[in-house]
Amino acid sequence: MGASCKDQKKALAICLQRSPCVLIQRNTPKECLTNPELKKELPELCVAYFRDFMECKNGMFDMRKRMRGNAPISTGKYDETYDNLSSGNFDAHEEMKKLEVLNRNLSKQRQLQEEAERARLQGR
């Protein structure tokens, strides 16, 4: 069960490597997560990935999930991207553009959910 958070961990690592905190300001990913000033500037997507990773880690100790398992087995979806970012085999501008697109999509998705919730509450 220890590897069940592998995908969440790699997604968080990729997001942090693409963030301005690491690419532009040259902080370590750990500093970006632990320093409150730097954490405020992280993209929404990275914060969401961090929350997912922490929920997964906390789920390892959740007795309700003990028999079923915490999460699906790792798919290896992020392995190639993670390896490229870890080895320095990437274009920083391209990676920042990818992060901006993903972050914009997350913002749009949240707006749609909020509008649907408001419509549902008004319909009552």
pLDDT reported for residue 50: 93
pLDDT reported for residue 65: 63
The token duo for 47 is: 């914060």
pLDDT reported for residue 87: 79
pLDDT in tens, 23-66: 889 999 999 999 999 999 898 999 999 999 998 888 777 776 66
More confident residue, 75 or 8: 8
**Res. 1: pLDDT tops 50:** no
pLDDT reported for residue 49: 92
Q: What is the mean pLDDT of residues 96-109?
A: 84
- Residues 33 and 15: their CA atoms lie apart, in Å, by 12
- Residues 105 and 70: their CA atoms lie apart, in Å, by 27
Query: What b-and-e string marks burial along 19-55, b requiring 16 or more CB atoms within 10 Å of the CB?
Result: bebbbeeebebeebbeeeebeeebbebbbbbbebbee
